Structure 1
């Protein structure tokens, strides 16, 4: 585990140094698209304009987020991995994190969950939504609030919960 933590920290520094002395407004904006409001809006729009497939999409997404959130919270409390901005010396994050612990990345979990659902229901958007989810994950590292390993764990969580919800409802 020590080797993983060292590699994760080195990779974090490599990414974070890209934004260390730069204007991070575009990175913050990308990260904000993963806050959750966009997911609800997308579900409602699809439900309103495409009642059959949109309704199933919305219900599947609601089930998925209802399953993802408790798992995410339990993992955060159980693992208790401190954020890089709280643990590493001389490092100031570009944003204030929403909580104390970093593993898994909730923004990344939610983004990959949504990307997976969109890809399942609307395959023509697969490349776009997975690229968007990946950029959200990367933004969290560039902003200094997550390690790359947190992003991988978040992506895995989102994909797993999405698959479970699709199995149950779709």
Structure 2
């Protein structure tokens, strides 16, 4: 069996486990709500609130989060439009759809990317909350498979893009963000 076929088999089996095998009424509601923590409104709103209402370090963390989100979502859109992977609920009739209709592509998961982007920023700045924030981000990624809108490899790629973007911003661009805040007289 070739590598591509093994990945497809892995994707299909793990997707089925998350989307069907563990399906129950509690998770149906829980996953539907937890997935919103990776959505654009929540992630952008959370970082904007830190930037607007925070003082000094919190304001910088808000700006760092916004920069990380922006960079990560640029990567997501380039990959989605380049690879054009159909979503699982469009490919398999057996996938539980949860009345979700999305018209964009599947790879990588934007919600997972955003949640890991923010979780990584928070973990880098506040190491004592690293485990809880990364677990919440992992729940967002899991919810995307549970809801049948992403394959496991979409979620894994979202984790990688989110973490990578945050590391770039935190270790390579933070000095520029600090200078921007001084220039804007926000520091």
Q: TM-score normalized by structure 1?
A: 0.90
Paired with 1:10 and 1:165, the residues of 2 have a C-alpha distance of 35
Paired with 1:84 and 1:58, the residues of 2 have a C-alpha distance of 34
Alignment match, 2:174: 169
1:127, CA displacement in angstroms?
0.8
Point out the structure with max Rg over C-alpha: 2
Alignment match, 1:141: 145
Q: Given the superposition, is the C-alpha separation of residues 127 and 77 from structure 1 closer, same or farther in structure 2, using an over 3 Å criterion?
A: same
1:49, CA displacement in angstroms?
5.8
Tell me which moved more, 28-37 or 149-158: 28-37
SS at match of 1:101: coil
Alignment match, 2:19: 16
Gapped regions of structure 2 (runs ≥ 5): 176-187
Alignment match, 1:77: 81
Contact 1:48 1:54 in 2 (8 A): no
Q: Given the superposition, is the C-alpha separation of residues 64 and 26 from structure 1 closer, same or farther in structure 2, using an over 3 Å criterion?
A: same
Contact 1:19 1:143 in 2 (8 A): no
Paired with 1:70 and 1:84, the residues of 2 have a C-alpha distance of 23
Equivalent residue for 1:40, pick from 44, 51, 62: 44
1:31, CA displacement in angstroms?
0.6
Alignment match, 2:108: 104
Gapped regions of structure 1 (runs ≥ 5): none
Alignment match, 1:2: 5
Q: How many residues align?
A: 170
Contact 2:19 2:96 in 1 (8 A): no
Q: Given the superposition, is the C-alpha separation of residues 59 and 21 from structure 1 closer, same or farther in structure 2, using an over 3 Å criterion?
A: closer
Alignment match, 1:132: 136
Paired with 1:108 and 1:6, the residues of 2 have a C-alpha distance of 22
1:48, CA displacement in angstroms?
5.5
Q: Deviations for 1:103-128, whole angstroms, at most 9, x for unmatched residues?
A: 10000000000000001112221111
Q: TM-score normalized by structure 2?
A: 0.83
Tell me which moved more, 46-55 or 150-159: 46-55
Q: RMSD of the alignment, in Å? A: 1.9
Alignment match, 2:178: none
